[in-house]
Chain A
Amino acid sequence: MSKFTRIAIANRGEVAVRIIKACDELGIETVLLHSEADIQSRAYRMATKTMCIGPASTAESYLNIEANINGALASGAQAIHPGFGFLSENADFAEAVVKAGLVFIGPSAASIRALGDKVHCKDLAKKAGLPLVPGYEGENQAVAHLSEEAAKIGYPVLVKAAAGGGGRGMKLIRTAAEAKEQIESAQREAQSAFGSPKVFLEKYLDHAKHIEFQVFGDSTGQVLHFFDRECSIQRRHQKIIEEATSPSLTDDLRRKMGEAAVAIATAGKYKGAGTVEFLLQDGEFYLLEVNTRLQVEHPVTEEVLGIDLVKMQILTAQGEYVHDPKLIRVPKGHSIECRIYAEDPYLGGVPSTGLLGKTMWPEGPGRRFEFGFDAGDTITPYYDPMIAKVIVRDESRPRAIQKMIRVLKDSVVFGVRTNIPYLIEILGHKEFVMGTMTTRFIETHFSEPLVSPPLMEQENQVLQGALAKLRTSRDHRETSASPWDGYWRGV
């Protein structure tokens, strides 16, 4: 296979930036396939070329297979990188890309069907001998039938999108009374986010940890794992804080789970970067799902292993990446990622949109910032609320936590409210610090919106001082006559 000279990116935001950087380093040009709503973004400014493929609505742009392929062909790209979310786990897309004479940077359509569809994945896992959570994966999708099956499994039960990931189309049914409402809600979300309303049911483990293994299949088809990540800090099944490696695994568990991850990826003839997710409860682990794509939290693995998964993906797609059998990888230190969401932590996390003012990410050793927008860009309501990721690495978990808190405190985002205060609270919580958190951490300790701390007299003086300076500065002279009789709040 020949080297790529130009890669099209069927994605947006910080992951598009991540892919552009990897391509830049490999000397490959990029084409950003973007919607009308995304012309104010870093990826748009950084890509070698850009091509608008449709309006803001995801169905007409980022989820439109034909528009993406036509855009890639018209711009002279040889390959498409799907990023994560959107079409990244869509086997029809992977197939259509290949049919169009392009290379899909990711696993084959057959692998995506075998592993990515949660229902097929479970069949494969059963054959490969992996432990599974009890559930229902049948074709009968009638709400009444699903409710019956949920009752059979025994509440609480999770209803999840068969084609999904990232917490979309996933709902928890606690009692029979909630079944109908939650199943219908999951089906609607699944339809809206993934284009298919198909769902399945699974018993909800109520004190489990979320542990996942990074796997990677090279150009020759050999699959290795690149150790584990823990992502137990989730809200509404959406990850918020991830780390590598997990503070919870014994060497024995790590070995067993790693072998299981490699076994199922190998059974699915996996090529490129993928993630095998498990739930761990009382020393027993269960396969949750396989994500047939790059993961949002891939940087923490990169940080502790010193690798570049996106470059590895591209080189694998070119037929050039082969695992070195002499290399023994050992994770070094500890890495944590926090997802920065544009939302109001004092209103229970409702989305916050608008014009982004100043953004400042405090650079330093062991700090990494992945972000899709700069000052002057607008955060629109059309897409995912994640606007950035902050990643730190330090020699131990306590040091990494300490560093992350400092970095978050020194990060400045003006114009939209963010979950930064919420993240700082979580990082300082005893259970997180001890590493004993489970996937119920948020609902147990942070189910209520944060309460804004009262304004201290000194803070008030400093803020009034800042106000006075701003008022007299030339940039803001037009506001100097306004009565500043508002009220302060912390965000």
Chain B
Amino acid sequence: METVVRIQGVDHRVHAELIKGTLWVHYNGRTYTMAVGSGQKSRRKAGVGGSSDQISAPMPGKVTKVLVNEGDVVSQGQAVLVMEAMKMEYTLKSDIDGSVEAIHCTAGEQVALGKALVKIKPSSDN
């Protein structure tokens, strides 16, 4: 809906809508979202960001190639698997030096956003 919000006597025109548990607001040239309901925080943490021992799917899509085997030694930045979504390939890389502890997917598998795909055991633990 389109509405006017009055803050300290000044009217601000906004567009706001609730879509599947997320509130969307467009105001002053920007779009904002907020997860509605209990505890559903920062979806952006799914898959990407920070250095992690867990490589997860940054988007829904298909795993096209798994480039490592369990037990393989990997270095930071090394390609670990390849995904495809919307006809584009994305290479997922290891954030850290270590060894492949577990692989939770197979080539050809459709995976959901945020699914854990490969677990890397940091080499500092060895």
Q: Which residues of A contact B (CB under 8 A)?
A: 58, 168, 181, 185, 188-189, 192-193, 236, 238, 344, 346-348, 350-355, 357-358, 360, 381-385, 409-410, 412-415, 417, 420-421, 424, 449, 455, 458-459, 461-463, 465-467, 469-470, 473, 475-476, 479, 482-491
Contacts and interface: CB of A to CB of B under 8 A. Distances in A.
B7 A488 contact: no
Interface residues of B, number: 54
Nearest to B12: A462
Contacts of A473: 1, 3
30 contacts: A168-B87, A181-B91, A185-B82, A189-B87, A189-B88, A238-B88, A350-B85, A351-B88, A352-B59, A353-B60, A381-B59, A381-B85, A385-B88, A409-B29, A412-B31, A414-B31, A424-B29, A462-B12, A462-B28, A465-B7, A466-B5, A466-B25, A475-B1, A479-B18, A484-B34, A486-B23, A486-B35, A488-B34, A489-B44, A491-B32
Given A462-B7, A483-B37, A489-B32, A348 B89 contact: no
Contacts, number: 172
A484 B47 CA distance: 25
B3 to A, nearest CB: 5
A311 B56 CA distance: 47
Contacts of A185: 82, 89, 91
Given A168-B87, A188-B65, A384-B86, A357 B12 contact: no
Nearest to B29: A409
B70 interface: no
B31 A490 contact: yes
Contact of B59 (A350, A466, A475): A350
Contacts of A488: 32-34
A111 to B, nearest CB: 26
- Judged by DSSP, the binding face of B is strand
B17 to A, nearest CB: 5
B42 interface: yes
Among A181, A413, A421, residue most surrounded by chain B Cβ atoms (within 10 Å): A181
B26 A412 contact: yes
A193 B64 CA distance: 14
B3 A469 contact: yes
B32 A168 contact: no
Nearest to B61: A381
Nearest to B23: A467
Contacts of A381: 59-61, 85-86
Contacts of A385: 86, 88
A379 B67 CA distance: 30
Contacts of A357: 17, 19, 24
5 nearest A-B pairs in the assembled complex, by CB-CB distance: A409-B29, A465-B5, A414-B24, A486-B35, A350-B59
Interface of B: 1, 3, 5-7, 12, 14-20, 23-42, 44, 47-49, 58-61, 64-65, 67, 79, 82, 84-91
Nearest to A193: B87
A485 B31 contact: no
Given A185-B91, A463-B25, A483 B38 contact: yes
Contact of A236 (B14, B15, B37, B88): B88
Contacts of A346: 44
A462 B91 contact: no
